[in-house]
Amino acid sequence: MAERVFMKGTEAIAEAAVRAGCRFFAGYPITPQNEIPEYMARRLPEVGGSFVQGESEVASVNMLYGAASTGIRAMSSSSSCGISLYSEGVSYCASARIPMVYVNVQRGGPGIGAIQPAQQDYLQATKASGNGGFRMIVLAPDSVQECVDMVYEAYDLAERDQNPVLVLTDGVMGTMMEPVVLPPMKTDEELAACRAKFADRAIVGHPLGQQAYCRPGSVGDGQEKVNIEAAAMYETWDKDIRVEEYMMDDAEIVFAAYGISARISRAVIRQLRAEGIKAGMIRPITLSPFPYDSFRNLDFDRVKGIIDVEMSIPAQMRWDVDYAVQGRCPVHEVLRSGGQLLTNDQVLKGAKEFIKEVL
């Protein structure tokens, strides 16, 4: 039964995973996502699952690779510099086509960076989460409700494609409390049915002659075949593109922002509208696959400029925006980073300076 409660982002993420059927969690402590492993340590034993505090992120992600290869729903979470250590395991899952689900609650970077929120892992998340040029679906929530819905759905996407799925959020969303509707708990029968689909491939022991192999690499021309199959799978993702176009019908000034920056931009857009400025926003919800067409198909006779709002210096999502816009209108940046939060006032001020130039 769906249930409405008031919850912190990190705990809501953990509960959503359990309701989706997650029965194994491995992770290593790092701020600002510690409540996820802590919640799992309490919660998983109640549903017959297993929690391990890994000795590192490297170990944790490889535990996840092992757990997911048995066909069970499993999860891990970390933050920025911890996520860098995940790249080995994520790449192995992509190569062996293991459906892993993981969460990055971003903090400031690079290096150990800052423990406060940031959006500085965009390019890593969307372009190269490990060696080998694989791709994965990256979901970017902008509310606690979306965190819940995306984690819940991530397993279906991961299992459909037999590929990793990342939920990319940040320290604001992780620590924020909001009312959420929790999805229903998947029944044992539903989970058994999910697992049954992969019974042939599950690394659990099989009768002679029916062995299951999990191979993150191949000899001869095997690896190229794996890569060609994966590339064909990525090509099917157009249907999975998700984007919010907010007040875009008549917009002359277009904000480009995801996650926490999109929330702030939305409030600024309302202020600008109140002052008679026709502002709107394109909010990518899937960062990969990216909604290029939303930018590509803008009416550039009407649109006077784009404001890229990110908690990253230098800007990162701007690469994708520029790729779609191809210089057909000016792109302005409003940025903070290193754990410094964007404020409404700063975005409003930056937007107005730009608007004065282009309108």
Partner 1 sequence: MAEEKKVYTRTKGIIEGAVSGFCPGCMHSTIHKIIGEAAEELGQLDNLVRVEGVGCCGLGQFYVTCDETIAAHGRAGAVATGIKRSSPNSLVYTYQGDGDLAAIGLAETLSAANRGENFTVIFVNNGIYGMTGGQMAPTTLVGMKSTTTPGGRDPQEHGYPMHMSEIINQLTAPYYIERVSCDTPQNVIKARNAIKKAFKYQLEGKGYSIVEIVTSCPTNWGLDPLKSLDFLREKMFAEYPLGVFRDGGEKKQ
Give min distance, CB of 65 to partner 1, in A.
Answer: 6
What angle is formed at CA 325 by the lines to CA 245 and CA 242, rounded to 5 degrees? 35
Sole binder of partner 1 in the list 16, 68, 151, 262 (CB under 8 A): 68
Q: Is 82 in the site for partner 1 (CB under 8 A)?
A: no
CB nearer to partner 1: give 82 or 291.
82
Q: Provide DSSP, 178-208.
A: EEEEEPPPPPHHHHHHHHHHTTTT-SS---T
- Residue closer to partner 1 (CB basis): 216 or 350: 216
Dig out the tokens for 226 from the structure.
Answer: 């794996």
Exactly one of 208, 235, 239, 274 binds partner 1 (CB under 8 A); that residue is: 208
Closest to partner 1 by CB, 95 or 169: 95
Q: Is 94 in the site for partner 1 (CB under 8 A)?
A: no
Residues in a beta bridge with 4: 181
Q: Is 276 in the site for partner 1 (CB under 8 A)?
A: no
Tokens standing for residue 196: 């049954």
Q: Which residues contact 158 (CB under 8 A, 6 or more apart)?
A: 99, 100, 101, 164, 165
- Compute how many residues bind partner 1; rule: CB under 8 A: 41
Residue 198, interface with partner 1 (CB under 8 A)?
Answer: no
Task: Please state the closest distance from residue 50 (CB atom) to partner 1, in A.
Answer: 4
220 is a site residue for partner 1 (CB under 8 A): no
For position 117 contacting partner 1 by CB under 8 A, the verdict is no
Query: Least distance in Å: CB of 70 to partner 1?
Result: 4
Listed in sequence order, the residues at least 6 apart from 247 whose beta carbon sits closer than 8 Å to its beta carbon are 269, 273, 279, 280, 281
Residue 211 binds to partner 1 (criterion: CB under 8 A): yes
DSSP string, 149-188: HHHHHHHHHHHHHTS-EEEEEEHHHHH-EEEEEEPPPPPH
Q: Does 90 bind partner 1 (CB under 8 A)?
A: no
For partner 1, the binding residue among 1, 111, 207, 239 (CB under 8 A) is 207
In the complex, the smallest distance separating the C-beta of residue 124 from partner 1, rounded to whole angstroms, is: 19
Q: Does 83 bind partner 1 (CB under 8 A)?
A: no
Structure tokens belonging to residue 246: 């907010």
Please state, in angstroms and rounded to a whole number, the distance separating the CA atoms of residues 86 and 83. 5
CB of 79 to partner 1, least distance (A): 20
Of 27, 32, 113, 216, the one binding partner 1 by CB under 8 A: 216
Pick from 357, 287, 294, 312: nearest CA to 142 = 287
When asked if residue 212 is in the footprint of partner 1 (CB under 8 A), the reply is yes
Dihedral angle sign, alpha carbons of residues 270, 104, 174, 194: positive
Distance CA 93, CA 75 (A): 13
Q: Is the peptide bond before 216 cis (omega within 30 degrees of 0)?
A: no
Query: Whole-number minimum distance, CB 230 to partner 1, in Å?
Result: 17
Say whether residue 67 binds partner 1 (CB under 8 A): yes
> Using only C-alpha atoms, what is the Rg of the chain?
21
- Asked if 89 is part of the footprint of partner 1 (rule: CB under 8 A), the reply reads yes
Out of 16, 40, 72, 282, name the contact with partner 1 by CB under 8 A: 72
Binding residue (CB under 8 A) for partner 1 from 31, 34, 41, 88:
88
The HSE-up count of residue 177 (CA atoms within 13 Å, CB side) is 4
Contact 84, 30 (CB under 8 A): no
Indicate the pairing of strand 101-108 with strand 137-139.
Answer: unpaired
Q: How far is the CB of 207 from partner 1 (least distance, A)?
A: 5
Query: Taking CB under 8 A as the criterion, which residues in 1-60 touch partner 1?
Result: 23-24, 26, 50, 52, 54-56, 58-60
| Contact by Cβ (8 Å): 82, 37 | no
Q: Is 157 in the site for partner 1 (CB under 8 A)?
A: no
Q: Is 296 in the site for partner 1 (CB under 8 A)?
A: no
Binding site for partner 1 (CB under 8 A): 23-24, 26, 50, 52, 54-56, 58-60, 62-70, 72, 74, 88-89, 92, 96, 202-209, 211-217
